[in-house]
Amino acid sequence: MKTIAAVVGCLALVLLGCSPAPVEPTSVTLLRVPAGGIQPRVVRADGTLHLLYFVGENTGGDLFFTTSTDNAATFAEPVRVNSQAGSALSGGTIRGGEIALGADGRVHVAQPKGPLNPAQQADSPYNGTPFLYAHSDGQGRFTEQRNLMHYTYALDGGGTVAADGEGNVYAAWHGSAPDSAPAEAGRQLYLARSTDGGESFNEETAISDAAQGACGCCSAHLFAGADGKVAAFYRTAREIENRDGYLLTSTDYGKSFKSSMLQHWQISACPMSSASFSEGPAGLFVSWETDGQVWFAPIDIESGKMTAEPIAVPGDPSSAAFPGVAAMIMPGSEVTVHGIGLNPTRTGLLRTLSDMGAGADVVSSGELTRALKAGVPPNKIVFSGVGKTTDELAHALKEGILQINIESEPELIALNKIANSMGQEAQVALRINPDIDAYTHNKISTGRSEDKFGIEWTRINDVISRAYKLDNIKIVGLAMHIGSQLTKLEPFKEAFTRLKSLAKELRLKGYEISRLDLGGGLGISYDGLPTPTPAEYGKIVKDVFKDLNCDLLFEPGRFIVGNAGILVTQVIYVKKGATRRFLILDAAMNDLMRPCLYDAKHSIISLVEPKEDDILDRVDVVGPVCETGDTFATEIDLPAAESGDLLAIRSAGAYGAVMSSTYNSRSLIPEIIVKGNNYSIIRQRITPETLINYENLADWSP
């Protein structure tokens, strides 16, 4: 039999890029500068941040480059990119630039420059605004800037640059042809390619539709991937009230492009900020802004089309730091996402999510340490949990995290005492217990009056009044989490409505409620049955909180990673019992606890290539541990299996490996993260021999 999955050893947890997939940005906006819509650009590679930023007014200024190797805590001495000695085109630029990293470590920078003076125009075959390019030499210096245009001239919008892993560099800009150019060459999007790492570029070619034109006041945007994949984004330049966004994709290194319209707009003015591409395990994504609205969509570069309807994200584009869960908020909302949390698991996985902008919701000092080690900024960490020790509270204060969610009055008093001893003021949200049933499993319901979590919502007025009298406590908001794996939306709406009403009441009394932590809980499908979508959840968030004007935090941990993990296991024996047929696996309840602990049902599939005449067997899928509870599924239909066959237990990405144990002195299985055709072991197999090394005999033992 031919297997269709590769594993390390016989038993492993594999984390895959499944929907909803995390996205690894190649370029993100760090901040927004009001003057002229100019934005700094940053890319990250091998732990180093490469930052390009503009200093000056909209009519002129300079472009600077710097790096950071400690998550933006400190930066190297900036280098002025557009004032290199000997450059005839050095000097002021009218707008910011774009940055890309090549496979050889070169930093590629492209920027527009103000219109040439008459003397420069006399010696140039072009007119108007040149489009300049330079790259670094690996020593912090940049090559002399040069103009990339031949017969086009740029308008006032500039362009962009992108690089792949094969030495190709692409530059694109909006331009118009001079009078000597063919009549059909109007305002279009032009592309030039270098095959030698930016040393030289071919003559530019128009890649947009001449009949549409290309909006000159909106920058072009590029993506360059492996095997000749190139994508570009532009807006049409037709009448100001009726512009469309277009996607161009190529699979032959930009020699030919497919075109498709992303979305139609009715806008009153051309927005200055535009779009960006990002690539993750699930493919390529594009996000763009129009008239204050941010959109996000997955695309298929082969067909050049979106593979799903665009998702709308409200507010500042820089708030959409984690597009994989952007559907949590719906269009028209005034809510801004300032933090998106994830219950920490493995450092390797956390690093991937942190690089994409995710924060962390931690419930122990160990999780806090793990999140920080993975690169999660302290100002994106929330500490929750009913039993935080004094050492843990001190740890949180020392690290300067965003907030501590307080769940009882004794904890509030203890935190004030610790903060006072450390000379600090603790940023606090009071977690309320709204007394609302989440209609989920009893063991993961957290919002009922009989549950241990939070402060009774009817007592919040008294507690916040006492809190305001504590010298080292600063109340910044309220928090709530009513349970996990919710498959109905009604409890969310009921709980959110109660939280909003309480926040408004407290504000009327003069208390500062600027932030609400809505927790998590949105369920995923384990058995193929439909569950509420993020868009449906987002509509409730919008409807309830749209007029509250406060920051919201979310912790959609299971939704992010649940369906991204599988448990790969091997059949040891096929046993025929008196009334049942058993597939006995090398995986056990200590590897995946959910079926035993929560009566959870996980989809199980065979990883053996099926035959045309395969029949289905009705089987119980069980582990080898000496408990009847060590059962993954009962009476399910699977293709006929035999010893040595591989199975995958799906949706094991959440509450899987993190709840595993060494029960029966079994090994802790390895964890493997997969990206495309590559994989990496992010936790080694931990054997009984390793564990025994941490054990000692009693001093009095012979």
Please state the rounded mean pLDDT for residues 512-541: 86
Contact partners, residue 248, CB within 8 Å, separation at least 6: 189, 207, 208, 231, 232, 233, 234, 257, 258, 259, 304
Instruction: Kindly indicate whether the domain formed by 338-562 is annotated with CATH number 3.20.20.10.
Output: yes
Which of 84-93, 116-125, 280-289 has the lowest average pLDDT? 84-93
Q: For residue range 578-606, what is the model confidence (pLDDT) as tens digits? A: 999 999 999 999 999 999 998 999 999 99
DSSP 534-580: HHHHHHHHHHHHTTT--EEEE--HHHHHGGGEEEEEEEEEEEE-SS-
Question: Phi/psi of residue 323, each to 5°?
Answer: -65, -15
Active site residue 626: yes
Instruction: Kindly indicate whether the domain formed by 24-321 is annotated with CATH number 3.30.450.90.
Output: no
Residue 141 has pLDDT above 70, yes or no: yes
Average pLDDT for the chain: 76
Residues of the chain within CATH 2.40.37.10 domain(s) are 12-16+563-692
Q: pLDDT class for 544, splitting at 50, 70, 90?
A: very high
Please state the rounded mean pLDDT for residues 521-527: 85
Q: For residue range 187-211, what is the model confidence (pLDDT) as tens digits? A: 678 888 999 888 888 888 888 776 5
Contact partners, residue 85, CB within 8 Å, separation at least 6: none
User: 359 with 342: CB under 8 angstroms?
Assistant: yes
Residue 326 has pLDDT above 60, yes or no: no
* Predicted pLDDT at 667: 92
C-beta contacts of 174-179 below 8 A and 24+ residues apart: 174/214, 174/215, 174/216, 174/218, 174/219, 174/220, 174/234, 175/131, 175/149, 175/204, 176/128, 176/152, 176/216, 177/151, 177/152, 178/126, 178/127, 178/151, 178/152, 178/153
DSSP state, residue 227 = G
* Predicted pLDDT at 319: 35
Q: For residue range 430-447, what is the model confidence (pLDDT) as tens digits? A: 999 999 998 888 888 888
256 vs 182, higher pLDDT: 256
Which helix H or strand E contains 355, and what residues bound it? helix 347-355
Which of 167-181, 247-261, 366-380, 481-495 has the lowest average pLDDT? 167-181
Residue 529 has pLDDT above 90, yes or no: no
User: 43 with 589: CB under 8 angstroms?
Assistant: no
Residues of the chain within CATH 2.120.10.10 domain(s) are 24-321
Q: pLDDT class for 629, splitting at 50, 70, 90?
A: very high
* Predicted pLDDT at 574: 96
The order of strands in the sheet holding 205-206 is 153-163, 169-176, 188-194, 205-206
Amino acid at 536: E
How much helix, strand and coil, in percent to the nearest 5, is found in the chain? 20, 35, 50
Gap between the terminal Cα atoms of the chain: 54
Rounded to two decimals, the pTM is: 0.56
* Predicted pLDDT at 113: 63
Burial class (CB in 10 A: 0-12, 13-18, 19+), 367: buried
DSSP state, residue 93 = B
Please state the rounded mean pLDDT for residues 351-374: 85
Q: For residue range 498-514, what is the model confidence (pLDDT) as tens digits? A: 999 999 999 999 999 99
> In whole angstroms, what is the distance from residue 634 CA to residue 484 CA?
24
Structure tokens at 693: 């090394």
46 vs 336, higher pLDDT: 46
* Predicted pLDDT at 312: 57
* Predicted pLDDT at 20: 32
Q: pLDDT class for 115, splitting at 50, 70, 90?
A: low
Helices then strands, counting H and E runs in the chain, come out as 11, 40
Q: Report CA dihedral (91, 96, 102, 107) to the nearest 10 degrees.
A: 40
> In whole angstroms, what is the distance from residue 269 CA to residue 634 CA?
61
CATH of span 12-16+563-692: 2.40.37.10
Residue 628 has pLDDT above 80, yes or no: yes
How big is the CA angle at 685 (ends 679 and 687), to the nearest 5 degrees? 170
Longest dimension (CA), the chain: 99
* Predicted pLDDT at 302: 84
Residue 272 has pLDDT above 70, yes or no: no
Nearest to 192 by CA among 161, 231, 154, 236: 161
Q: For residue range 396-405, what is the model confidence (pLDDT) as tens digits? A: 999 999 999 9
Nearest to 104 by CA among 164, 60, 47: 164
Determine the length of the chain: 702
> In whole angstroms, what is the distance from residue 427 CA to residue 404 CA?
6
SS3 15: strand
Other beta carbons less than 10 A from residue 82's beta carbon: 24
Q: pLDDT class for 338, splitting at 50, 70, 90?
A: very low
The active-site residue out of 18, 217, 218, 626 is 626
Distances (CA, A) of 117 to 50, 123, 127, 454: 32, 10, 10, 67
> In whole angstroms, what is the distance from residue 516 CA to residue 463 CA?
17
Contact partners, residue 539, CB within 8 Å, separation at least 6: 330
Q: For tokens 């869960």, what's the residue? A: 325
Residues of the chain within CATH 3.20.20.10 domain(s) are 338-562
